[in-house]
């Protein structure tokens, strides 16, 4: 299914005379294919979820200003820890395999055993690492279209706060992308704590 959609995309682009970054688009189609498989599985069992991380940044930035979009390596999915056993069962029905490695819960799909190609499970209301400024927010997604299919995604305001709270190098890159695309509005800035607002200022000053 993924191969057919990607081939159709390339054929359509060629017919329109559009230039295509094949490395970017092929990786994106692969990521979105995995995302659709796992979100279909969770939706079928009525399990709350929302994509977060770099893929969520990509979705929001692509919609606002594609020029500032950057590709991500994997799929990060925020879920409720209370649903973990149900998630394992639902994922197994779609050929995902659960792994807990180095303190990280993930779902592997296909022949790979690499964590880089996994769906990483992040839990709402918790911290991924002790240095994280604030716990992850509750799940309250918005619907977006990803390659012609509706998927629930973390809202921009929550995503900005998560990125500023985590504040690793890649988080700062993601904040810059969202800011350049005009997604970090005055209204969102007003919701930031003093610490997160200071981090946003620092990101802007060090572009």
Structural domain contains residue 169: no
Q: Taking residues 167-177, what's their average pLDDT? A: 96
The whole-angstrom separation of Cα 82 and Cα 139 is: 13
The whole-angstrom separation of Cα 61 and Cα 52 is: 13
**What pLDDT does 6 receive?**
43
The whole-angstrom separation of Cα 170 and Cα 7 is: 31
Structural domain contains residue 184: no
Structural domain contains residue 193: no
pLDDT at residue 171 above 60? yes
**What pLDDT does 149 receive?**
82
Structural domain contains residue 14: yes
Residue range(s) defining the domain that contains residue 22: 2-155
**What pLDDT does 96 receive?**
94
The whole-angstrom separation of Cα 117 and Cα 108 is: 7
**What pLDDT does 113 receive?**
66
Q: What domain count does the chain have?
A: 1
Structural domain contains residue 112: yes
pLDDT at residue 204 above 70? yes
pLDDT at residue 85 above 90? yes
Structural domain contains residue 205: no
Q: How confident is the model at residue 146 (pLDDT cuts 50, 70, 90)?
A: confident
Structure tokens that stand for 117 in this block: 């190609």
Q: Taking residues 167-189, what's their average pLDDT? A: 96
Q: Is the pTM of this model over 0.75?
A: yes
Give the domain CATH number at 45: 3.30.460
| Nearest 10 degrees: Cα torsion 75, 78, 81, 85 | -40
The whole-angstrom separation of Cα 189 and Cα 192 is: 5
Structural domain contains residue 195: no
């Amino acid at each position: 299914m993924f191969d057919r959609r990607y081939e159709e995309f390339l054929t359509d682009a060629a017919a329109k005379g559009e230039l295509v970054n094949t490395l970017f688009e092929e990786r994106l189609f692969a990521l979105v294919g995995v995302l659709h498989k796992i979100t279909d599985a969770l939706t079928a069992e009525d399990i709350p979820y929302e994509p977060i991380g770099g893929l969520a940044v990509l979705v929001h930035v692509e919609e606002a200003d594609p020029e500032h979009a950057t590709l991500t390596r994997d799929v990060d999915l925020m879920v409720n820890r209370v649903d973990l056993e149900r998630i394992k069962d639902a994922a197994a029905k779609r050929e995902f395999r659960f792994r807990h490695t180095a303190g990280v819960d993930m779902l592997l799909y296909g022949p790979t055993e690499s964590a880089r190609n996994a769906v990483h499970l992040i839990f709402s209301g918790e911290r991924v690492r002790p240095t994280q400024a604030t716990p992850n927010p509750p799940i309250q997604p918005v619907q977006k279209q990803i390659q012609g299919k509706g998927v629930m995604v973390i809202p921009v305001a929550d995503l900005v706060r998560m990125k500023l709270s985590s504040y690793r190098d890649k988080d700062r890159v993601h904040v810059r992308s969202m800011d350049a695309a005009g997604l970090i509005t005055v209204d969102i800035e007003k919701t930031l704590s003093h610490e997160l607002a200071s981090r946003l200022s620092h990101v802007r000053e060090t572009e």
